[in-house]
Amino acid sequence: MITRILSNLRRQERAVALLEMLQKEEFSHLSARDPGAVASIEFSIQELLRQLAVERTSLHQVYAAMDPAAKRLVDVVDRFDADSARAARELCAHIEAAEKRCAMQASRNYAMALGLYDVAKGSMDNLQRLLIPQKGLYGSSGRMSTGHPGPGVISGRF
């Protein structure tokens, strides 16, 4: 059981490190404005997050089998031998630190994507505004209609 828990924690540590690397790569693609590369990296990130969720669920099942009342891993770590307990605590600390870095990188990626979206939307709105003809610009025969004449001075007698 202890070896299964430690191997699960090692897999999670490697997965979170890979997640951090993928997020940095996504940021570089966002900076280069390459939407195809961003989309492919995003699919990889989503699949990795799904696998991490499966690992966490299986870890919970393993330590819940040791103690059904245990809600977290720290509730059962005290039952491990000294070396295994130290290794489990170190792995958990590494995973937590990497998760914090990933959260910060994810917020950077989100801000960059949102900024690029705002710029693109503003450009498209402006282009669309310029392409749509003004009301009353064309006459019924398809020719340019004449507008009202501008102000002028009328000279003459009644």
Q: What is the pLDDT of residues 18-37, one digit of tens each?
A: 999 999 999 999 999 998 89
Closest CA to 102 of 22, 44, 28: 22
Residue 142 or 39, more confident: 39
Of all residues in the chain, the percent with pLDDT exceeding 90 is 54
Residues 6 or more apart whose CB falls under 8 angstroms from that of 147 comprise 136
- pLDDT for 16: 97
- C-alpha to C-alpha distance for 138 and 144, rounded to whole angstroms: 5
pLDDT in tens, 92-129: 999 999 999 999 999 999 999 999 888 888 888 888 88
Distance, CA of 97 to CA of 51 (rounded, Å): 19
pTM, to two decimals: 0.75
Range of weakest confidence among 43-57, 106-120, 133-147: 133-147
pLDDT for position 64:
86
Domain ranges of the chain: 2-131
pLDDT of 155 strictly over 90 = no
**Quick check: 55 pLDDT over 90?**
yes
Residue-level pLDDT at 51: 96
Q: Phi/psi class of residue 134: alpha, beta or left (left: φ > 0; alpha: ψ in -120 to 50)?
A: beta
With respect to CATH, is domain 2-131 assigned 1.10.620? no
